[in-house]
Amino acid sequence: MPPAVRLVLASASPQRRAILEQLGVAFTVVPSDVEELTAGDPHEVAMENARRKAAAVPGDPVLGVDTLVALDGRIYGKPRDEAQARATLGVLAGRTHQVVSGVAVSPPMRTAVAVTDVTFRDLDGAWIDWYVGLGEWRGRAGGYAIQGRGAALVREIRGDYLNVVGLPVPTLLDLLPFLLQPADRGAPLR
């Protein structure tokens, strides 16, 4: 049986930390300070940003993740202010968008992309004003947090819920199958 893995998380995201803690993964946090791409093909942008994060931090293994929201090929990042948050939520209202996460683990560098479809309810101005007024949109791709009150905006998801929160666990385990070692099995989850 391989030795226990101590992961280096190249992110300051409290959501990613919480997911790893929930799984019982031993990890340290070393946020990367890299310039992120903000435009281009959403899958390529997410994967390249994750790769940059994993490559910028020393350790073995290092996990870099980038999560973004895309609709019709356009990336909707973290809104810079309330007006942009309102505009983003207005575009997403009543439609299905994709939450795309690039996941990178190094060394050696391995990458993968996870996609979850999220359908928003029809949202009128009052709903959008309510949500923006909460401030939960700050620092969130697409301007919402599904694990918080943003769940009220969502009609349906298809795919990995934790991807929408910020860390697609099945994708991570595909790249690091020995991350979790069930004591009674002595083998990684498959």
User: 89-144, pLDDT tens digit by residue?
Assistant: 999 999 999 999 999 999 999 999 999 999 999 999 999 999 999 999 999 999 99
Q: What's the DSSP call for residue 120?
A: E
Active site residue 66: yes
Residue 190 has pLDDT above 50, yes or no: no
pLDDT of residue 1: 36
pLDDT of residue 5: 61
pTM above 0.85, yes or no: yes
Q: Domains along the chain? A: 6-175 (3.90.950.10)
User: Which of 170, 61, 161, 58 shows the shortest CA–CA distance to 113?
Assistant: 170
Per the residue annotation, which of 60, 66, 81, 124 is the catalytic one?
66
β strands within 44-180, DSSP E: 62-71, 74-76, 96-106, 110-120, 154-158
Q: Is 12 helix (H, G, I), strand (E, B) or coil?
A: coil
Give how far Cα 53 sits from Cα of 27, 31, 182, Å: 16, 8, 29
Residue type, 105: V
